[in-house]
Amino acid sequence: MLPGALGPSGSPRGFDTREVLEAAWQITKVHWPLLVAAVVVVGLPGGLASSVPTFAVLFRLVEENSTEYWGIYATSTLASQILGTFFQVGLLRISLAVSRGKPPDFVTIFSGFDRFLPLLVANLVYYFSLMLGTFLFIVPGVIFLVGFSLAPFYCVDARLGPLAALGESWRALRGHKAQMFLFICAACGVYLLGFLACCVGALFAGALLYVAWSLIYIRLSGHERAPSEGA
């Protein structure tokens, strides 16, 4: 059992932000090369796709703010979301594996075919809810941000549909939303520190936070083994 990994019981329990980050640090120190590589794979294709409009303007293929520009922008944004979501499935599985004390396999990053579509729909509903809530005086947006934050894990690990995953995330975080909000604030600070470390540190910070996020899901859901293996 790796440091910070969880035992075999399946009882949901709460979490402490500092303790979770410390446990995630111990796990990430062991598996950082694979985790960082997985974070790169998740971000690179989508990042390249989203930069297409900028290069199109730079090389004078289109005029900025023209109809063609916005067409390219919409297409590249959609492609970025699709690519990012596909590889996110694999990154979630890798993060869950190391959080459960299992040896990770980098090939898992390419395993997103089976849960790609449910996760994409869940992410779109999540982002729409977040934008709508933010528009409604910000506070509802923060509540949606926190309450639905575990939905990707329920989509990928518990294999729930998009709406069921959002609902299960909301249920699991009942009574834990304040602590989850503190974790999100701490995560922003960790990522900022990583970004300030010549930007390269942001990759390590991203890997660390995915593991911490996985630990929170495992503890609140009680799925200390994958549901398919029996909790």
The pTM score is 0.86
The identity of residue 211, as a single letter, is V
User: What confidence tier does 160 reach under pLDDT thresholds 50, 70, 90?
Assistant: very high
pLDDT higher than threshold 60 for residue 230: no
pLDDT higher than threshold 90 for residue 99: yes
Q: Which pLDDT value is given to residue 5?
A: 38
Q: Do residues 111 and 90 make contact, with C-beta atoms less than 8 angstroms apart? A: yes
Please state at what angle helix 139-147 crosses helix 177-196, rounded to 10 degrees: 90
Secondary structure tally for the chain: helices H, strands E: 9, 0
Q: Enumerate the domain spans of the chain.
A: 17-229
Q: Do residues 25 and 225 make contact, with C-beta atoms less than 8 angstroms apart? A: no
Q: Which pLDDT value is given to residue 2?
A: 37
